[in-house]
Amino acid sequence: MRKISLIFSCLCTLTFSPWVVRGQDPTLSQFYAAPLLISPAFAGVSQTSKVNFNHRNQWPNLTANYQFSSLTADISVASINSGFGFIATTDKQFSNLKTTTLGLQYAYHLTLAPESSVSFGMEGAYVNRGIDYSSLVFGDQVSSLVNGGSLGTSTDPILNQFKPNANYVDLSTGALFNLKNTWLGVSAHHLNAPNKSLLNGSDDILQTKYSVQLGTKILFEDSYYEQNSASERNREKSISPVMHYKHQGTFDQMDLGAYLTLSPLVIGAWYRGIPLKNNSSASSRESIVALLGYRQDNFSIGYSYDMTISNLGLPSGGAHEISIAYLFDLAMSIKKPLLKIKRNISCPKF
């Protein structure tokens, strides 16, 4: 009966969500480990190509467990100052609601001076969102069990109100400015405000999300190696204060912290929330995040844990996140098959 009650509660949440709750985008703690999800302007930004995998398991101790996975890849075409990116993501809520996204990105990179550049990117994605009705239990099925029958297939009229899937196109854009070891980025996702409703004849508009990325890298010692070469990365000693702010509808969130790199180890810590907001706000204090990463040559792996400090508290289980990335020190060219990289943006890799 507990399982049936839980499923019924989830169904009610899904049924009334278009009027009560506006769903927000997935949030990664290791946001620089999936830069293409932040902004399409990161595609091929430093004349490098890379592959990133990320997985997040949020609130594992709650029935409202949320899981998100992404695979992103981008390639630099240095001869035309361009980068091309690919994103594939999937997330599951309540084990019933699933969203899958496939997207393509293009970015143009313009060098302003030897140590500064600006990038502009755009993204088009196809999104599929749907409910797995096979794991839901309805009232007529419960009545059948109570009367000694089998669970069977539901004929509840409420099923006629739902669409099996919602499919839509999602458009995004972004810009990134880099000055030596400092960067500033802005991005806007869901520019076309797509309708993601799963109810027939209703609207559930996905509101545009705006975000700002700001950070700088402070090197403890100068490097004698070619910029962003494997030798330089393997000897890096630096600290990178960062800020990532997001606003979507009535929801806003900020990550504020720093990465300490003592190659091959990377340690990170930051606060998620809006410190100056009233403490009664859900987003004023969310979590404290700790990261431990390992980076050697072109490979990196990181693990982070979100300690929940909101009203959900520690019993929620926080959030576990893992990232795996591989960086290719090569860029494609129309004139030459491969080019060695010449410049790099100083964003952290986790």
Average pLDDT, the chain: 81
- Least reliable range by pLDDT among 27-31, 55-59, 225-229: 225-229
Q: What is the pLDDT of residue 140?
A: 59
pLDDT of amino acid 149: 60
Q: Which residues contact 280 (CB under 8 A, 6 or more apart)?
A: none
What is the pLDDT averaged over residues 101-111? 96
How many whole angstroms separate alpha carbon 32 and alpha carbon 293?
12
The better pLDDT of the pair 127, 202 is held by 127
Of 151 and 85, the structure prediction assigns the larger pLDDT to 85
Residue 8 has pLDDT above 60, yes or no: no
Q: What is the pLDDT of residue 258?
A: 96
Q: Answer with the residue of higher pLDDT: 336 or 8.
A: 336
pLDDT digits (tens, 9 = 90+) for 275-289: 666 554 455 678 899
Specify the pLDDT at position 310. Answer: 76
Supply the pLDDT for residue 350: 76
* Omega before residue 60 within 30° of 0, cis: no
d(CA 294, CA 72) in angstroms, rounded, equals 20
Query: Given the DSSP bridges, would you call strands 237-248 and 251-262 parallel, antiparallel or unpaired?
Result: antiparallel
pLDDT tens digits, residue range 302-330?
A: 999 999 887 766 777 889 999 999 988 66
pLDDT of residue 228: 62
For the cut 60, the answer to whether the pLDDT of residue 125 exceeds it is yes
More confident residue, 225 or 164: 164
Q: Does the pLDDT value for residue 21 go beyond 70?
A: no
Rounded distance between C-alpha atoms, residue 306 and residue 64, angstroms: 16
How confident is the model at residue 19, as a pLDDT?
32
Strands 82-93 and 97-113: antiparallel
The predicted model gives 259-276 an average pLDDT of 90
pLDDT band, very low/low/confident/very high, at 334 (cuts 50, 70, 90): low
pLDDT tens string 191-229: 999 999 888 878 889 999 999 999 999 999 776 555 666
Secondary structure E strands in 132-232: 165-179, 182-189, 209-216, 218-219
Look at residue 213 in the predicted model and tell me its pLDDT. Answer: 96
Higher pLDDT, 314 or 101: 101
237 in Cβ contact with 196 (< 8 Å):
no
- Give residue 187's pLDDT: 97
Region 90-113: what's the mean pLDDT? Answer: 90
% the chain with pLDDT above 90: 48
- Which sign does the torsion angle of CA 192, 197, 202, 204 carry? negative
Q: Is pLDDT above 80 for 157?
A: no
Which of the two residues, 61 and 339, has the higher pLDDT score? 61
Mean pLDDT, range 241-262, rounded to an integer: 93
In the chain, the DSSP E strands lie at 49-58, 66-77, 82-93, 97-113, 116-131, 165-179, 182-189, 209-216, 218-219, 237-248, 251-262, 265-272, 287-296, 299-308, 319-328, 330-332, 338-340
CB 322 within 8 A of CB 302: yes
pLDDT at 11 over 60: no
DSSP label of 234: H
Distance CA 11, CA 208 (A): 26
Distance CA 14, CA 18 (A): 8
> CA of 53: how far to CAs of 34, 40, 301, 325, 344, in Å?
8, 17, 10, 6, 21
pLDDT at position 144 is 57
User: Which domains are assigned to the chain?
Assistant: 2-340 (2.40.160.40)
The phi, psi pair for 12, rounded to 5°, reads -65, -40
pLDDT value for 61: 77
* More confident of the two residues 2 and 332: 332
